[in-house]
Chain A
Amino acid sequence: KNQVEQSPQSLIILEGKNCTLQCNYTVSPFSNLRWYKQDTGRGPVSLTIMTFSENTKSNGRYTATLDADTKQSSLHITASQLSDSASYICVVSRPGNTPLVFGKGTRLSVIA
């Protein structure tokens, strides 16, 4: 069954600290993996895309990794800010016109 599992479900960290969010998937075949950030009450926004051949990609303080062999991805946030408080959703796509597979998200709270 095509599934995307994210952990932890929720996370609270102090401002300035780093954190890592995990995404494990069983989706096959694989096209790409995206991380989206969703602020409370708003629509998700794409942070980064990982294709099969990419291991690491950075977008400012966000760094995503992908291990296509173990079907795992992570999103590392460096020097967290209060504005990083949001849900982070992992989405995996397959080739062709097939529906995307969404994880349930990790809710991150950054506190002062």
Chain B
Amino acid sequence: DGGITQSPKYLFRKEGQNVTLSCEQNLNHDAMYWYRQDPGQGLRLIYYSQIVNDFQKGDIAEGYSVSREKKESFPLTVTSAQKNPTAFYLCASSISTGGGGELFFGEGSRLTVL
């Protein structure tokens, strides 16, 4: 079945460590996104990518990095520079970034910093 797969579902990290969250889609979508979700807040955009080998910063990109080497994959690295990384991270894709197309979300990755 087509969809978006995020892994791991749960991740624990010690302070000072970098971690990478995986996001793979087989929907043949051009656009992919990473959002962060905190309790009581709306989804906030971290990074997005419209095509392979290109990506743009969202509203809260500091302390995060991404790559888009393949159309299907858009991993997110949470670096030690991110001051408050404990959150629920959601990856999404859409046919394109324009026009408000439907976002298809993964099941999320919950990161906890110990």
Contact = CB atoms under 8 A, between A and B. Distances in A.
Given A4-B42, A103-B42, A34 B100 contact: yes
Contact of B42 (A41, A93, A102): A102
Contacts of B81: none
Contacts of A94: 100
Q: Interface size for chain A: under 10, 10 to 19, 20 to 34, or 35 or more residues?
A: 20 to 34
Contacts, number: 59
A45 B99 contact: no
Nearest to A105: B42
Given A31-B99, A43-B90, A94-B100, A89 B108 contact: no
A97 B50 CA distance: 9
B107 A31 contact: no
B43 A89 contact: yes
Contact of B58 (A41, A45, A99): A99
Interface residues of B, number: 25
A66 interface: no
B97 to A, nearest CB: 5
Interface in A50-104: 89, 91-97, 99-100, 102-104
Nearest to A49: B102
A43 B58 contact: no
A99 B45 contact: yes
Given A36-B103, A102-B43, 12 more contacts: A9-B40, A42-B108, A43-B92, A43-B106, A43-B107, A44-B90, A44-B103, A49-B100, A49-B102, A93-B100, A96-B99, A104-B42
A-B complex: 5 closest residue pairs judged by Cβ atoms: A93-B100, A43-B105, A102-B42, A104-B42, A31-B100
22 contacts: A31-B100, A32-B99, A34-B100, A41-B88, A42-B107, A43-B106, A43-B107, A43-B108, A44-B103, A46-B102, A49-B102, A93-B100, A95-B98, A96-B99, A100-B45, A100-B100, A102-B43, A102-B44, A103-B42, A104-B40, A104-B41, A105-B42
